[in-house]
Amino acid sequence: MRRRVVQWSSGPVVKCLGILTFAVCSLQFALASAAPADLFGRGNVAYEAGDFAGAVSLYDSAAAGITSAELLYNRGNARFKLGEVGRAIADYNRAWVLKPHDKDIRHNLAFARQFRPDKSLTIENPLMRILTDFLRLPDYATARVLAGLLFFLALAALALLFVRGERLFGWVALGLGVLFLYFFVSAASWSAVTGAEHGVVVQPELTLRSGPGPEYKEIAVVHDGLEVTLREQRPGYVLIQIPGGDGGWVESASVEQVFAR
């Protein structure tokens, strides 16, 4: 006859975690939604009045307090209206990572990309496209949190299997492990997109040089809105790689980093 030697319940632990999470969320809500929300609204009013430069300034101030897909989207709109296609693309990219399924964001990102003088000729593998879309069903933060939570639950189920010796916990652990793998790979996929190496050219015309300085030879000319990869940072200069593999050194201010670390 099996004797119950150890009595353990996960209920109190989950409750404690829930209360902790709720408390932290509420605190952050209370701290963050006062002045920035007001600046956000005033930015919208300026935008509606046609004062796009004023709107960008207000959105910038609001962005210092909150990170919101709507805010970044609206700032992208204001920048696009000002003719800053590159900066608009950077904002739309940031908003897209926060809300990857928002059709407005996707539309405006695609629309702004049409105005780039430099067109990307990269042909995407359709199978990779399907796989990427599948992996990016959840947004980055959700994938990351769920991956951690599922990892915890899978190991907890495994622990129960060790303690109780019942196979059911083994199957539960396996299922949770598969889900964990999906969200973990999803988070990794998002991580590749939100890396610090992603940048956008924000000058109408930009000359790439062979070294970090004006004395180096000019290699190529790129234009506003081109999305590039930041390879190396030097004081005042950055080495960028353009689609297709070529690259060169440009002044740091001429390229906007999309996701800061």
Q: Shortest approach of other proteins to residue 180 CB, angstroms?
A: 10
Indicate whether 159 belongs to the interface with other proteins (CB under 8 A).
yes
Of the candidate spans 124-132, 154-162, 231-239, 240-248, the one that interacts with other proteins by CB under 8 A turns out to be 154-162
From candidates 18, 41, 195, 213, binder to other proteins by CB under 8 A: 41
Indicate whether 87 belongs to the interface with other proteins (CB under 8 A).
no
Q: Pick from 190, 189, 195: which is nearest to 261 by CA?
A: 195
Of the candidate spans 123-131, 186-194, 197-205, 248-256, the one that interacts with other proteins by CB under 8 A turns out to be 186-194
What does the alpha-carbon distance between residue 42 and residue 49 come to, in Å, rounded to a whole number? 11
Q: How many CB atoms lie within 10 A of CB 58?
A: 24
Q: Shortest approach of other proteins to residue 45 CB, angstroms?
A: 9
Burial class (CB in 10 A: 0-12, 13-18, 19+), 200: buried
Indicate whether 154 belongs to the interface with other proteins (CB under 8 A).
yes
From candidates 162, 167, 235, 244, binder to other proteins by CB under 8 A: 162
Subset of 104-123 contacting other proteins (CB under 8 A): 104, 107-108, 111-112, 114
Q: Pairing mode, if any, of strands 255-257 and 247-251?
A: unpaired
Amino acid at residue number 147: A
Indicate whether 156 belongs to the interface with other proteins (CB under 8 A).
yes
From candidates 11, 12, 29, 167, binder to other proteins by CB under 8 A: 29
Residues 231-260 vs other proteins: string with x where CB under 8 A? ------------------------------
Comparison of 16 and 220: residue with beta carbon closer to other proteins? 16
Contacts of 211 (CB under 8 A, 6+ apart): 249
β-strand partners of 207? 221
Comparison of 151 and 216: residue with beta carbon closer to other proteins? 151
Comparison of 67 and 207: residue with beta carbon closer to other proteins? 67
